[in-house]
DNA sequence: TTTACAGTGAACCAAATGGTTCACTATCAA
DNA sequence: TTGATAGTGAACCATTTGGTTCACTGTAAA
């Protein structure tokens, strides 16, 4: 899986731009041409074309040109790998913080015991 | 929520680098100093410091300097928002593809009906 | 057959990224 | 006190990024 890391790179990079997340949002509602998208995001055709290409590269969008208009749709990749990566690390996070919680609990108990010992 | 988009930007960008994902992975196992991390990823201290700063900026890592060593740990942000964003869009994806599936089913049925009509 | 429209590609630009080296500070250890 | 160690910040560098303009192709419409 040499490509796994490269794919994560490309996808997270694609998602790290607010315009591109907006495009995905839009395409979730309905397909759109480059012109549609360029208008909605106040950008030149050329600029939007680049964004769409990046999303396409990451597999998040597919496009097809018929006549002179290129129609963009959501792609076949459904972010499974990215969801899995994030979920895995959320679990790591939680495990570590649970351990921390336990430690804090222990300290609290010890503190209480000390206080009681002192009051005797 | 003006900051919401900026936070997503920062987090996805932080995650889009293979070294930084590696650092998170490492910190999931145990805390580490800048020197530890720089060695493991064959990089100068200065270089690693920058990566750590980016992760810290995104809230994914926290650090504390005691004496001359800065110890890095997993931060308090647990990728909830990012997980939510991805999950929401996975649902959009699935909804659209389910609709597509239904359409295909319809076409298949129609085809079958046509074939039967023809054979009569 | 013009004319308008949708997209494309090359060239350019400023800013951000991912890295380095070098000079410096602060701390720990002998 | 004198080294060695850990990190920091500034400066630099090449590449990438996010955008533009401009010239062009192909298609649709009048």
Q: Where are the domains of chain B?
A: 2-74, 79-120
pLDDT at B49 over 90: yes
pLDDT value at residue A81: 87
| Whole-number distance in Å between B6 CA and C24 C1' | 35
Q: B65 phi and psi, to 5 degrees?
A: -105, 125
DSSP 3-state of B44: coil
Nearest to A28 among B80, B83, B89 (CB): B89
The string of DSSP codes covering A41-71 is TT--HHHHHHHHHHHHHTTSEEEEEETTEEE
Cross-chain CB nearest to B89 (options A24, A73, A90): A24
> Which chain A residues have a beta carbon less than 8 Å from that of B12?
12-13, 15-16
Q: In chain A, which stretches have pLDDT less than 50?
A: none
Q: Residue B23: pLDDT above 80?
A: yes
B8 versus B79: which is more confidently predicted?
B8
Cα-flanking dihedrals φ and ψ of residue A54, to 5°?
A: -65, -45
A84 or B2: which leads in pLDDT? A84
Judged by C1' against the alpha carbon of B17, the nearest nucleotide is: C18
Q: Which residue is nearest to nucleotide D10 (CA to C1')?
A: B46
CB B61 within 8 A of CB B74: yes
Structure-token match 């999950």, residue found? B87
User: How many whole angstroms separate alpha carbon B86 and alpha carbon B78?
Assistant: 14
Check pLDDT > 60 for residue B14. Answer: yes
Would you state the structure tokens that stand for residue B47, as one six-digit string?
A: 């270089």
Token readout for B59 is: 């809230």
Comparing B48 with B98, which gets the higher pLDDT?
A: B48
Which stretches within chain A are classed as H helix? Answer: 2-15, 18-29, 34-40, 45-57, 80-119
User: For position B103, what pLDDT does the model report?
Assistant: 66
Name the percent of chain B lying above pLDDT 70.
85
Question: Starting at the edge strand that comes first in sequence, how are the strands of the sheet with A61-66 ordered?
Answer: A32-33, A69-74, A61-66
Which CATH architecture best describes the domain A2-74? Orthogonal Bundle (1.10)
* Closest C-alpha among A62, A47, A45, A61 to residue A11: A61
Range 32-71 of B in CB contact (< 8 A) with A: none
Number of neighbours of residue B47 by Cβ within 10 angstroms: 15
Does the pLDDT value for residue B96 go beyond 80?
Answer: no
Asked if residue B7 has pLDDT above 80, the reply is yes
User: Is residue A70 within 8 Å of residue A64, measured between CB atoms?
Assistant: yes
Give the phi and the psi of residue B71 in degrees, each rounded to 5: -95, 135
**pLDDT of res. B76:** 79
Question: Can you tell me the distance from the alpha carbon of A9 to that of B21, in angstroms, rounded to the nearest whole number?
Answer: 10
């Amino acid at each position: 899986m040499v490509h796994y890391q490269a794919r994560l790179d490309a996808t997270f990079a694609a998602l790290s731009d607010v315009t591109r997340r907006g495009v995905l949002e839009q395409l979730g509602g309905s397909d759109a041409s480059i012109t549609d998208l360029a208008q909605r995001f106040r950008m030149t055709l050329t600029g939007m074309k680049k964004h769409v290409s990046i999303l396409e590269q990451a597999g998040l969008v597919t496009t097809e040109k018929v006549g002179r208009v290129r129609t963009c749709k959501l792609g076949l990749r459904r972010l499974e790998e990215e969801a899995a990566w994030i979920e895995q690390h959320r679990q790591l996070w939680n495990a570590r913080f649970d351990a921390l919680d336990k430690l804090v609990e222990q300290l609290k108990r010890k503190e209480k015991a000390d206080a009681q010992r002192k009051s005797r």
